[in-house]
Structure 1
Amino acid sequence: MRIPAAARAALLGAVALVAASLLAPPAGAASTDSAGPAAQAERPADPVAHDPTMVKEGDWYYVVITGDAGTHTYLPVKRSKDLVHWTELGPVFDALPAWIPQTLGTTPADAWAPELVRAGGEWRLYYAASQFGTNNSVIALATTPTLDPDSPDHRWTDRGLVLRSHPGVDDYNAIDPDVLQVDAQTQLLSFGSFWSGIHARYLDPATGKPAGDGDFPLASRAGGPVEGPSIVRHGGYYYLFVAFDFCCRGVDSDYRVVVGRATSPTGPYVDRAGVPMLQGGGTEVLRGYNEFVGTGGADVWPAGGTDWFVNHYYDATDAGTPRLNVRQLRWSDGWPSLDDPVNPSREVGHGAAYVSIVARSAGGVAEDVGCGYEGADIALAAATGSPCQQWQVERKGSGARILNRSSNKVAEVAGCDNTDGGDVAQWGWLANDCQRWRPATSTDGWSTIASVLPGARVIDDAGCAAGAATGDLRISTARGDACQQFRFQPVGRVLLADVAGTAALGIPDCTSASPASGSPRLQARSTDACQEWSFSSAGGATYTVTNVATGLQLSTSRCTSSFPDRGKLRVVASDASHPECRRWTLAPADDGSWTLTDAGTSVAQHLSLRLP
Structure 2
Amino acid sequence: MRLDRRTLLGAGGALAAGTLLRGPAAAGATPPLNAGLTGYLTGLHDPVIIREGETYHVFGSGGWNGRPGPSWRISRDLKTWTDNGMPFGIPDWAKRAIPQAESVWAPDIHFVDGLYRLYYSVSTGGSMRSVTGLATSPTLDRHAPGYGWTDHGLVVETAPGSGYNAIDSNFFRDADGQDWLLFGSYWGGLKLIALDRATGKRRAGDTALHALAYRPAPEGADNPIEGGFLFRHQDYVYLFASFDYCCRKLASNYYVAAGRARSVLGPFVDKKGRSMMDGYAETVLIERPWGGTRWRGPGHCGLMHDGARDLIVYHAYDAEHDAAPTLRLAVLSWDAEGWPVALS
TM-score (norm 2): 0.84
Aligned mates of 1:171, 1:339 — CA distance in 2: 37
**Structure 2 residue aligned with 1:154:** 147
How far is 1:202 from its partner?
Answer: 1.3
Over residues 417-458 of structure 1, what are the superposed CA-to-partner deviations in whole Å (9 max), with x where a residue is unaligned?
Answer: xxxxxxxxxxxxxxxxxxxxxxxxxxxxxxxxxxxxxxxxxx
Q: How does 1:17-166 map to 2 (within 5 A)?
A: 44=38, 47-48=41-42, 49-68=44-63, 71-93=66-88, 95-104=89-98, 106-166=99-159
8 Å contact kept, 1:219–1:277? yes
8 Å contact kept, 1:288–1:313? no
**Structure 2 residue aligned with 1:277:** 276
Indicate how the Cα distance of structure 1 residues 5 and 88 shifts in structure 2: closer, same or farther if over 3 A, else same: farther
Matched letter for residue 337 of structure 1: V
Aligned mates of 1:246, 1:83 — CA distance in 2: 28
2:86 aligns to what SS in structure 1? strand
Aligned mates of 2:74, 2:127 — CA distance in 1: 33
Find 2:341's aligned residue among 337, 340, 346: 337
Matched letter for residue 83 of structure 2: E
Over residues 523-582 of structure 1, what are the superposed CA-to-partner deviations in whole Å (9 max), with x where a residue is unaligned?
Answer: xxxxxxxxxxxxxxxxxxxxxxxxxxxxxxxxxxxxxxxxxxxxxxxxxxxxxxxxxxxx
1:100 aligns to what SS in structure 2? helix
**Structure 1 residue aligned with 2:167:** 175
Over residues 79-129 of structure 1, what are the superposed CA-to-partner deviations in whole Å (9 max), with x where a residue is unaligned?
Answer: 101111011110112x3111112123x231111111001112110000111
How far is 1:70 from its partner?
Answer: 7.0
Q: How does 1:240-255 map to 2 (within 5 A)?
A: 240-255=239-254
**Structure 1 residue aligned with 2:180:** 188
Aligned mates of 1:304, 1:282 — CA distance in 2: 27
Matched letter for residue 53 of structure 2: G
2:73 aligns to what SS in structure 1? strand
Matched letter for residue 178 of structure 2: T
8 Å contact kept, 1:297–1:312? yes
Aligned mates of 2:71, 2:163 — CA distance in 1: 30
**Structure 2 residue aligned with 1:266:** 265
How far is 1:69 from its partner?
Answer: 5.7
Name the count of aligned residue pairs: 305
Q: How does 1:504-519 map to 2 (within 5 A)?
A: none
8 Å contact kept, 2:40–2:82? no
Indicate how the Cα distance of structure 1 residues 338 and 42 shifts in structure 2: closer, same or farther if over 3 A, else same: closer
Residues 1:302 and 2:305 are matched in the alignment: yes
How far is 1:152 from its partner?
Answer: 2.6
Matched letter for residue 216 of structure 2: A
8 Å contact kept, 2:38–2:81? no
8 Å contact kept, 2:132–2:157? yes
Matched letter for residue 63 of structure 1: V
Aligned mates of 1:141, 1:64 — CA distance in 2: 14
| Structure 2 residue ranges without an equivalent (≥5) | 17-34, 218-222
What root-mean-square deviation, in Å, do the aligned CA atoms of Structure 1 and Structure 2 show? Answer: 1.9
1:209 aligns to what SS in structure 2? coil
Task: Return structure 1 stretches of 4+ with deviation > 6 angstroms.
Answer: none
Residues 1:226 and 2:225 are matched in the alignment: yes
Aligned mates of 2:168, 2:93 — CA distance in 1: 19
Q: How does 1:179-578 map to 2 (within 5 A)?
A: 179-183=171-175, 185-211=177-203, 212-223=206-217, 224-288=223-287, 290-332=293-335, 333-340=337-344
1:229 aligns to what SS in structure 2? strand
How far is 1:288 from its partner?
Answer: 2.7
Higher relative contact order (CA 8 A, sep 6+): 2
1:102 aligns to what SS in structure 2? helix
- Larger Rg: 1 or 2? 1
Percent of aligned positions that are identical? 38
